[in-house]
């Protein structure tokens, strides 16, 4: 049965841990991801792709810092737009090439996407999301004073700038994304959670320095385009409870009650699986099917044969 699927790619789909961030390495990782997505399209599904951008934005910010005496640095929302552009370019190109190999002629488009957040979101009062490079304490505090940054120590590894991570209110342009997928187009959208913007009293929008959780934005996009399936692709084949312990257990088919029970037990960490499970559960609550699985098993998971499946 043909389904509309929102696929949220994890960061490892673009850059593997400890891998050098060359364009060639990232392009090859994206090509492998596109190979899997093309198989899903061949199986008859409509596809919308979102992706992470954490390492890429971090590198752009580092370029800003290294070159600030020569080229004026750009604000964080612009850096997010830059990363969306070049990751979207890689995905657009490799997806077209992989579809060509399968003799499929679905159009592919990458949309630079803005995500609305609330100006009064509590996250702006307590920024917690580390971004960019590490500094010494003295250097970090000097930069904070010069640039009006908030800086904090990051797990004993050094000091970093921290920014707000507000909740997404809406994905601007999701109506266009829906129309394109209804016409069998493949759309790459809301990369890195989308470029954060706020709506002013006169209805105009303005960029704001923040980082939106990509899985929460992917859920919001899936909700607004009325997707049948919300699929989070990560580096593990299943969600686990008691992870790393002798009684570790892989979750396969999970009811909402069971999923909430594990959340309330604190089974999923806020920095990794927590937001993914939160987004998946919210989607399942609305009657859709949510899947969390590894990239290489995505097509099997869509057929119900792999991954963690959460349904109402």
Q: Which class for 155: exposed (0-12), middle (13-18), buried (19 or more C-beta within 10 A)?
A: exposed
* The one catalytic residue among 191, 192, 276, 307: 276
What is the 3 state secondary structure string of 182-235? HCCCEEECCHHHCEEEEECCCCCEEECCECCCHHHHHHHHHHHCCCCEEEEEEC
Between CA 32 and CA 98 the distance in angstroms is 9
For the beta sheet containing 205-207, the strands, ordered from the edge strand earlier in sequence to the opposite edge, are 168-171, 114-117, 195-199, 205-207
Task: State yes or no: is 207 an active-site residue.
Answer: no
Instruction: Find where tokens 């899997």 sit.
Output: 36
How does strand 114-117 pair with strand 195-199? parallel
Q: pLDDT value at position 44?
A: 94
Task: State yes or no: is 178 an active-site residue.
Answer: no
The encoded tokens of residue 203 equal 């209805």
Q: Which class for 300: exposed (0-12), middle (13-18), buried (19 or more C-beta within 10 A)?
A: middle
- DSSP secondary structure string, the chain? ---EEEEEE-GGGT--TT----HHHHHHHHHHHHHHHHHHHHTT-EEEEEE--HHHHHHHHHHHHHTTTTS----HHHHHHHHHHHHHHHHHHHHHHHHHHTT----EEE---EEEE-TT-GGGGS--EEEEEEE-HHHHHHHHHHHT-EEEE-TTS-EEEEEB-PPEEEETTHHHHHHHHHTT-EEE--GGG-EEEEE-TTS-EEE-SB---HHHHHHHHHHHTT-SEEEEEESSSSEEESTTSTT-EEE-EEEHHHHHHHHHTT-S-TTTHHHHHHHHHHHHHTT-EEEEEEGGGHHHHHTTSSSEEEE-
pTM above 0.85, yes or no: yes
Q: pLDDT value at position 6?
A: 98
Between CA 6 and CA 228 the distance in angstroms is 8
Between CA 113 and CA 245 the distance in angstroms is 40
* The one catalytic residue among 52, 214, 220, 238: 214
Question: What does pLDDT average to in each consecutive run of 10 residues of the chain (312 residues)?
Answer: 90 84 95 96 96 90 91 94 96 98 96 97 91 85 88 84 94 97 95 97 96 95 97 93 90 94 89 88 96 94 95 88
Between CA 29 and CA 16 the distance in angstroms is 8
Q: pLDDT value at position 284?
A: 96
Closest CA to 163 of 195, 196, 124, 193: 124
* The one catalytic residue among 12, 29, 53, 64: 12
Task: State yes or no: is 88 an active-site residue.
Answer: no
Task: State yes or no: is 129 an active-site residue.
Answer: yes
* The one catalytic residue among 10, 11, 54, 191: 11
Task: State yes or no: is 43 an active-site residue.
Answer: no
Q: How many CB atoms lie within 10 A of CB 85?
A: 12
* The one catalytic residue among 129, 141, 199, 282: 129
């Amino acid at each position: 049965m043909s389904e509309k699927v929102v696929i949220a790619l994890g960061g490892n789909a673009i850059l593997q841990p400890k891998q050098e961030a060359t364009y060639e390495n990232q392009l090859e990782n994206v090509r492998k991801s596109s190979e899997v997505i093309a198989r899903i399209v061949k199986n008859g599904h409509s596809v919308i792709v979102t992706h992470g951008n954490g390492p890429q934005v971090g590198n752009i910010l580092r370029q800003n810092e290294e070159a600030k005496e020569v080229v004026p640095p750009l604000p964080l929302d612009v850096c997010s737009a830059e990363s969306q552009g070049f990751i979207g370019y890689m995905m657009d190109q490799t997806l077209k090439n992989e579809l060509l190999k399968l003799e499929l002629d679905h159009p592919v488009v990458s949309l630079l996407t803005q995500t609305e957040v609330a100006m009064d979101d509590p996250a702006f009062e307590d920024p917690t999301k580390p971004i960019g490079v590490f500094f010494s304490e003295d250097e970090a505090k000097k930069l904070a004073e010069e640039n009006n940054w908030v800086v904090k120590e990051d797990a004993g590894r050094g000091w970093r700038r921290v920014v707000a991570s507000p909740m997404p209110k809406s994905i601007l342009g999701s109506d266009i994304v829906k129309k394109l997928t209804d016409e069998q187009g493949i759309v790459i959208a809301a990369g890195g959670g989308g470029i954060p913007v706020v709506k002013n009293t006169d209805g105009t929008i303005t960029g704001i320095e923040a980082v939106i959780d990509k899985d929460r934005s992917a859920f919001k996009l899936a909700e607004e385009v009325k997707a049948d399936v919300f699929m989070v692709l990560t580096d593990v084949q299943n969600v686990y409870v008691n992870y790393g312990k002798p009684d570790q257990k892989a979750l396969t088919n999970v009811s909402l009650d069971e999923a909430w029970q594990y959340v309330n037990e604190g089974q999923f960490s806020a920095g990794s699986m927590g937001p993914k499970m939160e987004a998946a559960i919210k989607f399942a609550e609305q009657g859709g099917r949510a899947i969390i699985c590894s990239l290489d098993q995505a097509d099997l998971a869509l057929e119900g044969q792999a991954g963690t499946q959460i349904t109402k």
